[in-house]
Structure 1
Amino acid sequence: MRFDKAFLPAGGYWSTPFCKWGGNFSTLHPLKFAAEIARKALADRQVDARELEELVLGYTIPSKDCFYGGPWVAGMVGAEGLTGAIISQACATGAAALAHAGGKVQCGDNEATLVVLADKTSNGPHLVYPNPMGPGGKPDSEDWVWDSFSRDPWAKGSMLQTAENVAKEAGISREEQDALTVTRYEQYVAGRDAKFHERYMVPVEVKPGRKVIATVDFDEGVFATTAEGLAKLRPAMGPEGTVTFGSQTHPADGNAGLLVCSKERAARYSRDGEPVQLLSYAQARVEKGFMAKAVVPAARKALAEAGVGIGDVKVIKTHNPFAVNDVYFAKHMELEVASFNNNGCSLIYGHPQAPTGARLIIEGVEEARQAGGGYVLFAGCAAGDTAAAMVLKV
């Protein structure tokens, strides 16, 4: 998919910190939480929610009353006249929701869409499904978060197994994965020390009731990472494995939001800069059980759609639930591993699912703005041995 009429206002995007599973965001309803943050973010940017023409909601984990998702969130944001699609495409949800919104603007359906991404992996729902043929009518059951991580119903393996499959086929060693993890942690710390994340991050007062119980200014659950510490960890899938707890991401909670507009509306909403242009969106799927490989064909397709070569790209951000992903991506795209994911990535700060790609795209845009402009590539894998990619121009 190629765009030439869809833009993000400069500064027209935001993300909360990401908090670890069971952390300070675990008591909050994800949609109410995201709506509260979006309402404040729009007010801070002097955007009247009543001027918006659509709301696209992305989530991957059901929550109470989410059947009414889009209209409900729109109402809580202060835009009672809005509705729109709900997008749920596993880890690709953020990019897919942005592409959906961009497509609606591209075809002239509207001039301003609010995209809200919200997920809470903590306390995920335990679901039961009727099964009249079960013993004594016993229903089928599913732990939405845990079971989804643990088994792909098509490929039959876990997310972790896909990483091991790619490591084995591509000859990616544990040492390479550990070295990349240390690099990614150092890039994140450098961004934190330079106050990079303050460019887009919204501090949160956690208030599940009447009283504020915590203030979250920054990501919660990031582990201090060293080569020595990683070397002490056991492989997660037994002695023959290469992936450890340290070289994979952790489930998290959080939300993010972006405005997608026509060029004229984006210019009106922009803060201290020119609008950011969406150029392309692409997705790909590879063979069963090799999820990390899908990022490469998705990225190549998005670049081709945009008419841009990898050498023309100023900033690259990837969703990397496993260090394997970035080692594989770097080898096949002929990149140095330290040349992308500056300032942080999901391997280090966690993965709430729907908001993850959105935050990475926001970070890519802000890094390019700091550098004076250029092309931004986002690419990341998703459940079902798939991936999504997007190219933007700052």
Structure 2
Amino acid sequence: MSFDRVEIPYGAYWSTPFAKWQGALQHLHAMKFAAWVAKGELARRNIDPESFDTGVFGMTNTQYQSFYGAPWPLYEIGATRTPGHMITQVCATGARVVFAGASEIQLGMAEQALIIAADRCSNGPHIYYPAPKGPGGYGQSEDQVTYNMMNDAIAGHSMLETAENVARKYQITTEEQHEVVLRRYEQYQDALADDHAFQKRYMTLPFSVPKHNFKGEDAVLAGDEGVFATSKEALARLKPVQPDGTVTFGGQTHPADGNVGLILTTPERARELSTDPAIRVTLRGFGQARAELKFMPEAPIAATQKALDHAGVSLADVVAIKSHNPFAVNDIAFARATGADVMAMNNYGSSLIWGHPQGPTGLRAIVELIEELAIRGGGIGLFQGCAAGDSSMAAVVEVSQR
């Protein structure tokens, strides 16, 4: 299925700064916070919340009363009669919500979709599951965020173990990983140049953090919070986390909080909503894949090829690549398998540096990809990223002049 009936209005997207967990955003209910941000961003663009005939909300970590799904935040935004659904697909959520909304429009089920992804890794829920017929009637419990990062539901391994497996397969050393980390940190500095000029293309800065009841200001963020400054010397002092491993704390991302929003609509309506009607943003294709058990960082390789095939293009046609890279291993393995230049990927930043709130991570990367393509004067871009369950999703977008 092509997506010729769907466009992203240029500039009709936004992101909060991402804050390292237990930081400036830790007190905010993820769904309420995402609705609060979206309501303000729509008002800034003079977009009526009631103009949406569908909504897709992506979130991974349970929040109080998240049982109610997308209709709750949509109502809070002011889209009081807009139906919608919630998707939870761990780190693939950001790309998955775009695919879901685009599919509804392409099938003629809707004309304008509000896409939101949010997560709060901070203060993750402690969940108890009753088991009245279990021994002694005792049930099971989990700390949803930390336990699941450390214990795969299928084989019990940690996410870190998947990175080490891929590092062994592709013979990736600690030193190579640190070289990529330094490059990613350098690229992120470009997004901060000239008083955050790149980030201000899609992010409202300084960002006023509301109080927990959304009445008044709790703090002000100048940008992403909790980004670790690094250097070659600092990374060289780090030892691998696992015995006989290669991945250090410097070679992996950190949990974070935040949310991202994006509008999908028809080509006709996109011109009306764009901040620059001359710029056209289209979705060319999507792909998904699943790697061998315990090889999560390898999954984007196959997903990318499927997305490129769906779009009818090759990697040689792609001028910008963004990845969700929880480990530097991800980018190195991808480059070795595809021939991509590992040092040219992820201009202006990536989740390896600005953090990983799971649900919105990929969506922010897609937004940044659009802006990089616009700066380049157009072209085809690729987003790819892995997700728990050794899975992955990729998306191909194109920015052009009308």
Do both proteins adopt the same fold according to a TM-score greater than 0.5, normalized to the shorter chain?
yes
Q: Secondary structure at the match of 2:47?
A: coil
1:221 corresponding residue in structure 2: 226
Q: In structure 2, what residue type is equivalent to 1:252?
A: A
Q: 2:318 and 2:48 mapped to 1: Cα distance?
A: 34
Q: Say if 1:55 and 1:82, in contact at 8 Å, map to a contact too.
A: yes
From 361, 372, 375, the equivalent of 2:380 is: 375
From 206, 223, 237, the equivalent of 2:210 is: 206
Q: Say if 1:13 and 1:256, in contact at 8 Å, map to a contact too.
A: yes
| Offset from partner CA, 1:185-242 (integer Å, 9 cap, x none) | 000012211421111013232322444221113000000111110111121112x110
Q: 2:325 and 2:74 mapped to 1: Cα distance?
A: 31
1:246 corresponding residue in structure 2: 250
Q: Secondary structure at the match of 1:329?
A: helix
2:369 corresponding residue in structure 1: 364
User: Structure 2 matches for 1:1-394, cutoff 5 A?
Assistant: 2-194=2-194, 195-202=197-204, 203-209=207-213, 210-238=215-243, 240-273=244-277, 274-394=279-399
Q: Say if 2:116 and 2:262, in contact at 8 Å, map to a contact too.
A: yes
Q: In structure 2, what residue type is equivalent to 1:106?
A: Q
Q: Secondary structure at the match of 1:60?
A: coil
Q: Say if 1:364 and 1:376, in contact at 8 Å, map to a contact too.
A: yes
Q: In structure 2, what residue type is equivalent to 1:289?
A: K
Deviation at residue 138 of structure 1 after TM alignment: 1.7
- Is the deviation greater in 208-217 or in 332-341? 208-217
Q: Say if 2:210 and 2:217, in contact at 8 Å, map to a contact too.
A: yes
Deviation at residue 156 of structure 1 after TM alignment: 2.4
Q: 1:130 and 1:205 mapped to 2: Cα distance?
A: 37
Q: In structure 2, what residue type is equivalent to 1:272?
A: D
Q: 1:91 and 1:44 mapped to 2: Cα distance?
A: 29
Q: 1:261 and 1:275 mapped to 2: Cα distance?
A: 12
Q: 1:138 and 1:261 mapped to 2: Cα distance?
A: 50
Q: Say if 1:206 and 1:216, in contact at 8 Å, map to a contact too.
A: no
CA-based RMSD: 1.1
| Offset from partner CA, 1:74-119 (integer Å, 9 cap, x none) | 1110110011111111100010010000000001111100011110
Q: Secondary structure at the match of 2:217?
A: coil
Q: Secondary structure at the match of 2:25?
A: coil
Q: In structure 2, what residue type is equivalent to 1:257?
A: G
Q: Say if 1:302 and 1:389, in contact at 8 Å, map to a contact too.
A: yes
Q: Say if 1:318 and 1:378, in contact at 8 Å, map to a contact too.
A: yes
Q: In structure 1, what residue type is equivalent to 2:202?
A: Y
Q: 1:377 and 1:211 mapped to 2: Cα distance?
A: 39
Q: In structure 2, what residue type is equivalent to 1:254?
A: G
TM-score (norm 1): 0.98
Q: In structure 2, what residue type is equivalent to 1:290?
A: F
Deviation at residue 182 of structure 1 after TM alignment: 0.5
Deviation at residue 136 of structure 1 after TM alignment: 2.6
Q: In structure 2, what residue type is equivalent to 1:72?
A: W
| Offset from partner CA, 1:327-384 (integer Å, 9 cap, x none) | 1111111122121100000000000001000000000000101111111100000000
Q: 2:282 and 2:85 mapped to 1: Cα distance?
A: 22
Deviation at residue 166 of structure 1 after TM alignment: 0.3
Q: Say if 2:15 and 2:261, in contact at 8 Å, map to a contact too.
A: yes
Residue segments in structure 1 that go unaligned for 5+ positions in a row = none
Q: 1:217 and 1:303 mapped to 2: Cα distance?
A: 37
Q: Secondary structure at the match of 1:46?
A: coil
Q: 1:207 and 1:119 mapped to 2: Cα distance?
A: 17
Q: 2:168 and 2:293 mapped to 1: Cα distance?
A: 15
Q: Secondary structure at the match of 1:7?
A: coil
Q: 1:61 and 1:205 mapped to 2: Cα distance?
A: 21
Q: 1:343 and 1:206 mapped to 2: Cα distance?
A: 27
Q: Secondary structure at the match of 1:8?
A: coil
- Is the deviation greater in 264-273 or in 183-192? 264-273
- Number of residue pairs aligned between Structure 1 and Structure 2: 393
Deviation at residue 14 of structure 1 after TM alignment: 0.5
Deviation at residue 134 of structure 1 after TM alignment: 3.3
Q: Say if 1:59 and 1:88, in contact at 8 Å, map to a contact too.
A: yes
Q: In structure 1, what residue type is equivalent to 2:120?
A: K
Residue segments in structure 2 that go unaligned for 5+ positions in a row = none
Deviation at residue 7 of structure 1 after TM alignment: 0.7
Deviation at residue 58 of structure 1 after TM alignment: 0.4
Q: 1:206 and 1:72 mapped to 2: Cα distance?
A: 19
Q: 1:327 and 1:155 mapped to 2: Cα distance?
A: 25
Q: Secondary structure at the match of 1:92?
A: helix
Deviation at residue 3 of structure 1 after TM alignment: 1.7
